């Protein structure tokens, strides 16, 4: 009997080469069995800063189309948001702005898991709440969220999330995504 392999697109919404959000998103993707994991690096999708003037003069960049098609071909999406001054990183916001010009359904009503982390007490909750409010609007699935505060104290590359209570909340969010995939 052939099992259907889920294709999960994963990325940290950051352009940092050492992104803790990318690390958290990859860790989350490892919680899913029988899945093809597609890890994106926002640096591979660097484009001119979005403006209607640039769009009308040059059209939509090929990298935006590629990003959009990768999302479209997936079965699920996991994003971990870095927070810059209480909001999205410029790298993520620019990609989001460009792909939203391609089609109205940016996230393709895919099952999603939204995460955030930082080395602070709040774990980038401000941007996570902003992202959740925007992405969940008229979304087909309930979107689970999880924020990991104090990343350096609560996470290591061998064990993942160390704090027992935080790990339980994280796994519950992953289980919700998994149930949306069925």
Report helix angle 90-99 to 62-72, nearest 10. Answer: 80
Q: Given this model, what pLDDT does residue 106 score?
A: 86
CA angle 126, 38, 69 (to 5 degrees): 85
- Residue-range definition of the domain harbouring residue 175: 6-181
In a domain, 17, yes or no: yes
Residues 6+ apart with CB under 8 A from 30: 37
Task: Give the predicted TM-score (pTM) of the model.
Answer: 0.95
Per-residue model confidence as pLDDT tens digits over 115-130: 999 999 999 999 999 9
Longest dimension (CA), the chain: 53
Quick check: 10 pLDDT over 60? yes
Determine, yes or no, domain membership for 104: yes
Residue-level pLDDT at 71 = 96
Do residues 83 and 116 lie in contact, with contact meaning Cβ atoms separated by under 8 Å?
yes
Mapped onto helix, strand or coil, the DSSP state of residue 107 is coil
| Residue 70 belongs to a domain | yes
Residue 81 lies in a domain: yes
Residue with tokens 């993707």: 29
Question: What domain count does the chain have?
Answer: 1
Q: Is residue 75 part of a domain?
A: yes
- pLDDT digit string, tens, across residues 86-139: 999 999 999 999 999 998 788 988 999 999 999 999 999 999 999 999 999 888
Q: Which two tokens stand for residue 157?
A: 């590359």
Predicted local distance difference test score (pLDDT) of residue 1: 40
Pairing of strands 35-39, 6-13: parallel
Please check whether residue 146 is in contact with residue 170, taking contact to mean a CB–CB distance below 8 angstroms.
Answer: yes
Q: What is the CATH number of the domain that holds 170?
A: 3.40.50.360
Residue 5 clears pLDDT 90, i.e. is over it = no
């Amino acid at each position: 009997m052939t099992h259907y392999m889920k294709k999960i697109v994963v990325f940290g919404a950051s352009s940092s080469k050492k992104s803790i959000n990318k690390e958290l998103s990859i860790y989350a993707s490892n919680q899913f069995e029988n899945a093809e994991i597609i890890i994106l690096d926002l640096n591979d999708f660097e484009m001119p800063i979005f403006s209607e003037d640039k769009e009308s003069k040059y059209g939509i960049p090929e990298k935006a189309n590629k990003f959009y098609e990768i999302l479209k071909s997936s079965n699920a999406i996991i994003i971990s948001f870095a927070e810059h001054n209480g909001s999205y990183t410029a790298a993520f916001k620019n990609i989001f702005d460009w792909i939203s010009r391609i089609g109205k359904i940016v996230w393709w009503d895919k099952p999603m898991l939204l995460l955030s982390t930082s080395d602070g007490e709040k774990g980038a909750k401000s941007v996570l709440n902003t992202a959740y409010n925007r992405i969940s609007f008229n979304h087909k699935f309930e979107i689970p969220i999880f924020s990991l505060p104090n990343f350096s104290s609560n996470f290591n590359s061998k064990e993942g999330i160390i704090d027992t209570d935080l790990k339980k909340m994280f796994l519950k969010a992953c289980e919700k995504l998994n149930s949306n995939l069925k």
